Homo-oligomer: A and B are copies of this chain.
């Protein structure tokens, strides 16, 4: 349990508006832990014992139905909080968190949350912002799922991923963590087969280059155009 350097995290949204000594006080309650690639950090339905701040790596949040179908709720990037069940009055995690990379996260015991809140009301405000923008994201995704074809949804998903975690290359951008066809399918509400076909087609056109759990966008701009293209205006039933 190494001490975390305050300066490394002080600029994160969670601590916006806090003084360094306050950040330090909050950090004192947390402990840091390594999560090797593909390990589970917490599981859906499990008692929400902690909440987290990702320091390094990437984490995948998934939600599963009783029958075993699952969707990928979001990828958590470095600097983001996750497992905030208690902040929204849940006693159990609503999703499963898995490290997709070797990752490091700070963990606070859930029981410290009320105390921290009382002492630092700004935490609630900052967390509200975070949750709020996730809600926005979520609505955007619903809008896409309702109104767009699979190909456009995949394009949007990839663009969002490179925006969040893209590594610029000489020519193009790479998603800098392992991601499978299945993952993309679960983000866009389709099947891995359809994603595979789409990526194969794009590869033919030189838009992407991809392999096992690896995707490079060679022509982000042309993919953007794809994502925008309205295949004939579906529901133009305005009121």
Question: Chain A: residues with CB nearer than 8 A to chain B?
Answer: 63, 65, 67-71, 73, 84, 87-90, 94-95, 117, 121, 124-125, 127-129, 131-136, 138-139, 141-143, 145-147, 182, 186, 189, 191-192, 230, 233-239
How many copies of this chain does one complex carry? 2
A87-B128, A87-B129 given. 20 additional CB < 8 A pairs? A63-B139, A65-B143, A67-B230, A69-B234, A71-B139, A71-B143, A88-B132, A88-B135, A89-B132, A89-B133, A90-B136, A95-B139, A124-B128, A127-B128, A131-B131, A135-B135, A135-B138, A138-B138, A142-B189, A182-B237
Docked pose: A235 CA to B131 CA in angstroms: 28
User: B131 touching A192 by the CB < 8 A rule?
Assistant: no
User: B233 touching A71 by the CB < 8 A rule?
Assistant: no
Contacts A139-B94, A235-B191 given; does A71 touch B147 at CB 8 Å: yes
Contacts A147-B69, A238-B68 given; does A134 touch B135 at CB 8 Å: yes
**CB-based closest 8 A-B pairs:** A88-B132, A121-B121, A146-B189, A124-B124, A69-B147, A138-B138, A69-B235, A124-B125
Could you name 22 residue pairs across A and B whose Cβ atoms are closer than 8 Å? A63-B139, A65-B147, A69-B143, A69-B236, A70-B235, A70-B238, A71-B146, A73-B139, A87-B128, A87-B129, A88-B133, A89-B129, A89-B133, A90-B136, A94-B136, A117-B121, A121-B121, A124-B124, A124-B125, A131-B132, A142-B189, A191-B235
Docked pose: A129 CA to B132 CA in angstroms: 11
Docked pose: A239 CA to B60 CA in angstroms: 13
Docked pose: A135 CA to B129 CA in angstroms: 13
Q: Name the B residues within 8 Å of A192 (CB-CB).
A: 237
User: B146 touching A236 by the CB < 8 A rule?
Assistant: no
Q: Name the B residues within 8 Å of A235 (CB-CB).
A: 68-70, 186, 191
Contacts A125-B117, A192-B237, A236-B69 given; does A142 touch B143 at CB 8 Å: no
Q: Name the B residues within 8 Å of A141 (CB-CB).
A: 142
* Most B Cβ at <10 Å: residue of A84, A121, A133, A141: A121
Docked pose: A39 CA to B135 CA in angstroms: 25
* Most B Cβ at <10 Å: residue of A67, A69, A90: A69
